[in-house]
A and B are shown apart, each in its own frame.
Chain A
């Protein structure tokens, strides 16, 4: 081991793994994330991959990336500028070079820069010798060759051996950042439990990568990112989609209902279906329907039968579900709809993130069909959002849509998971004998909150019919009476508006309670906005942040909060949707900041806009 290697302390580091979609970059990134999280860092991740399963090898369009920031302070974004880029080939380097901090480090696999790779990456010159990387610190390692070398005594074919090269990178990074190999070895033991030769090979290469750092002088310094000072408690790492699935199970458990999840495969929502279909021992019934419409309809059917009916999809699938969601609004049955938003319109950018379905959620149905809408702000917050959506759906007998997005769904962060006994109880308003008057059940009789009772087939004496035709108040019988229709439209609206009395008031997340600029966001822009506002405050600016969880109805004090600031800036990953709603509701001249590139905001983009309007 080199004697003269020193440790440099860093508060936070951003690493980007980039390679072919077959190079195992997602797995490498996930393992590196978990190891840092288990060590005690705060982390935030951003997987970014092509829509094609095996996009053309070696090309720019086939690059799969996994970016993460880990730190000893609280981390809210996967990082604006990359400190270390790992490029497995020329395409990985060229498509991500612009993200690397000037003076940052680039670790390249030199085998990925041969004539073929350069041609596929459409690079006339070899960037390793052309001078393109002069402003960076470049570490060249022939990872492919060293991997094969490490496995030369095994029975693996050359091709099989080469596939382990991501483990070399991971081992090397564990050396560089002084992390233990244990968690990854444990993971490999589980993954290759039935393939001992692959387990042995991967562990061998992982160790070879670590030892390579130890034995050579490529780096004269290693980096130390100390444990983060997070709030006390027990933590785990979690992705948005996993948190969404677990949140549903928790809500079903706390309400005493069985969970029914009807879904049709779609990116980036399918992982929720995968996760839930593993959890049948929690009385979870998953139904992979024949299409999106059947998925939502089956969930409504299950709710009619007394289960917690949930459906999940992404924008195009949600569009197909909307008629049935309108029916659920009309029937006044609980239903949770998860929309993991992606780039649109139409098929759009299936694997990229966007927030462009807010209008679809709030307004996207025929007729006057108010829908409660909630948004998750971080991967772990997906748990809270879906739990709250289920609570409102059940206790208010109404459909609720939760908006997640591709960035939250696949991104991960440490989660201080809750204790079951601290979860808010959920009380389904099942009809009781006392709800019968003269042995007659009035299915559309309402309580003070305008909520009707839930009578489920099998309950004797409560037989009734529901349907999509306009219904008479109280009895629920079909009615074409003009006055009744207006009354029912207003009642359904008032019922959803009433939810505002059952949700928290809007709080200021960061900064002072009043002042010059308020940055108002919703959804996954939370981290970037929070970091931008914190940095502006550190620079002495009068800026605050408020972040909306409840998008319909809005918190009842929101107008008051907004009016306490001279200017309101609304950054969104769309062409300006929340800004429209805010202008419409409060006649307030909020300033939009829009990014529609399929990738999240960089902190600097928000800071620049704050400074521009300041």
Chain B
């Protein structure tokens, strides 16, 4: 029997339930992971991929239990290395729809090396980085995204490490799809998940996820009704960057310098504002750096949505294409010829 081939039939109509495994979900009550799991199970029937062709691969951490709860193929691998497992799997079978589930410690600390390399290679996968700015599974140590000064079990006097801005790292590694979303906004989360899946290449999605036990309310200013409108800058392709209680504020660019304006007061029309263009790398770089501490005065709002998107060749497709090209050039390998080599002699 030869290697089984991927089933490419696409006729079955699924519901979210079809993607729910029989395993009891064991995250803490109120954990943001529940929402992400639900939204993923909700969008999968829409992507048109047979269940047997879908694979979830994770590293280690609370979020990385995710594959156990999905009724698809799945692998709960080792800490930080999920990108390498995904790369090997995609090279072996580029037909599969592969999702990579990781957290801030998994992706940015122990697995930082693999993350930057999967992004630069542009392996076709959807990377969901659950960022809760804390180590949850090990019970509350600071993570590479914890803000400076945060008091945790391993930083009782406050964190002195400077945190990563994950989307900045992704841009540095030349990711071809970079987005930020949040667990508490299911509809928006589903939109971004679908967009990520539609993108061919490594789709990097940072999901702000609340850890109710060890870092509760870390993202409250971006989810609470009373602060959300002031603090969240929703990026929509082709639309102006407007925010504020009554959409009274907007971002404009003075050369390379972004500036917040009260646009109507200042007599500006929507056309005068910064119109978001997710294909513009230079502008994406400016938006990515909107990473101010919301407690500081005159800070920029935090952008959510798709920062950047670019079409670039997919690594594993090129690997497989090269195999085909070499076969064309030299012909299908002849094992007996290979064993024989170039110079032989006979002993009678």
| Residue from A227, A324, A417, A458 within 8 A of B96 (CB atoms) | A458
Contacts of B278 in A (CB 8 A): none
**Main DSSP-derived SS at the A contact region:** mixed
Number of A-B contacts (CB under 8 A): 241
Q: Mark A456-490, 1 if CB is under 8 A from B, else 0.
A: 11111111111111000000011000000000000
* Of the residues A232, A238, A419, contact of B336 by C-beta under 8 Å: A419
A-B contact pairs, 12 of them (CB 8 A): A235-B344, A236-B344, A280-B322, A281-B323, A282-B335, A290-B84, A290-B113, A293-B81, A294-B81, A298-B84, A298-B85, A465-B76
A372 within 8 A of B: no
Q: How far is the CA of A570 from the CA of B346 in the complex (A)?
A: 36
> Chain B, 1-35, contact with A by CB distance < 8 Å: what is the 0/1 string?
11111110000000000000101000000000000
Any B CB within 8 A of the CB of A257: yes
Interface assignment of B320: CB less than 8 Å from any CB of chain A? yes
| Residues in A whose Cβ lies below 8 Å from that of B233 | none
A242 nearest in chain B by CB position: B341
Q: Evaluate whether A236 and B93 lie within 8 angstroms (CB atoms) in the complex, with A290-B114, A327-B78, A430-B4 already known.
A: no
Q: A249-B333, A302-B92, A458-B4 are in contact. Are A233 and B73 (CB under 8 A)?
A: no
Query: Interface residue count for A (Cβ, 8 Å)?
Result: 81
B77→A297 contact, CB < 8 A? yes
Please name all residues of chain A whose beta carbon is closer than 8 Å to the beta carbon of B343 when the two chains form the complex: 34, 38, 183, 236-237
Instruction: State whether B7 touches A284 (Cβ < 8 A).
Output: no
CA distance A258 to B346 in the complex (A): 32
Q: Which residues of A contact B60 (CB under 8 A)?
A: 468
Tell me if A294 and B320 are in contact (CB < 8 A): no
Which chain B residues numbered 60 to 83 have a C-beta less than 8 Å away from chain A? Answer: 60, 67-68, 70-78, 81, 83
What mask results when residues 325 to 346 of chain B are scored 1 for a CB within 8 Å of chain A, else 0? 0110111110110111111111
A302 to B96 alpha-carbon distance, docked (Å): 12
Pick from A235, A253, A430, A457: contact of B55, CB under 8 Å = A457
Q: In this complex, which of B21, B319, B343 has the most chain A Cβ atoms within 10 angstroms of its Cβ?
A: B343
On chain B, the number of residues with a Cβ less than 8 Å from chain A's Cβ atoms is 69
Instruction: Say yes or no: is A289 at the interface (Cβ < 8 Å to chain B).
Output: yes
| CB of A402 closer than 8 Å to a CB of B | no
Which residues of B sit under 8 angstroms from A306, Cβ to Cβ? 3-4, 92-93
What distance in Å separates the Cβ of B97 from its nearest Cβ neighbour in chain A? 9
Task: Find chain B residues with CB under 8 A from A229 CB.
Answer: 347
Chain B residues whose CB sits within 8 angstroms of the CB of A253 once the complex forms: 333, 335
B52 at the interface (CB under 8 A from A): yes
Q: Does B223 contact A (CB under 8 A)?
A: no
A-side residues, CB < 8 A to B, are: 34, 37-40, 183, 227-238, 246, 249-250, 253, 256-258, 260, 262, 279-285, 287, 289-291, 293-295, 297-307, 309, 323-324, 327, 331, 416-420, 427-428, 430, 456-469, 477-478
A480 to B314, CA, bound (A): 40
CB < 8 Å neighbour of A417 from B81, B113, B326, B340: B340
Q: Would you call B323 and A461 a contact (CB within 8 A)? A: no
Q: How far is the CA of A19 from the CA of B81 in the complex (A)?
A: 45
CB distance from A364 to the nearest CB of B (A): 16
- The chain B residues found within 8 Å of chain A, CB to CB, are 1-7, 21, 23, 50-55, 57, 60, 67-68, 70-78, 81, 83-93, 95-96, 113-114, 117, 319-320, 322-323, 326-327, 329-333, 335-336, 338-348
Assess whether A282 is in contact with B338, with CB atoms less than 8 Å apart: yes
With a 10 A CB-CB cut-off, give which of A40, A250, A462, A467 has the most chain B CB atoms.
Answer: A467
Known: A234-B340, A294-B117, A463-B73. A256 touches B345 (CB 8 A): no
Q: Is the CB of A459 within 8 A of B4?
A: yes
Q: Given the known A-B contacts A38-B343, A301-B85, are A291 and B113 also in contact in the complex, defined by CB atoms under 8 Å?
A: yes
Q: B85: which A residues are within 8 A, CB to CB?
A: 297-298, 300-301, 304
Asked if A236 contacts B1 (CB within 8 A), the reply is no
Of chain A, the residue at the smallest CB distance from B339 is A417
**What CA separation (Å) do A468 and B338 show in the bound complex?**
38
Q: Are A256 and B55 in contact (CB under 8 A)?
A: no
Known: A294-B117, A298-B88. A280 touches B327 (CB 8 A): yes
- Contact call A283/B96, Cβ cutoff below 8 A: no
Closest residue on chain A to residue B79 by CB atoms: A323
B326: chain A residues at CB < 8 Å are: 280-281
Alpha-carbon separation in the docked complex, A101 to B324 (Å): 54
Q: Judge whether A238 and B55 touch: CB under 8 Å.
A: no
Question: Judging by beta carbons under 8 Å apart, are B76 and A307 in contact?
Answer: no
Which residues of B are found within 8 Å of A183, using beta-carbon distances? 343
Q: Which 4 A-B pairs have the closest CB atoms?
A: A467-B76, A301-B88, A298-B88, A282-B333
Asked if A246 meets B339 with Cβ closer than 8 Å, knowing A306-B93, A307-B3, A428-B1, the reply is yes
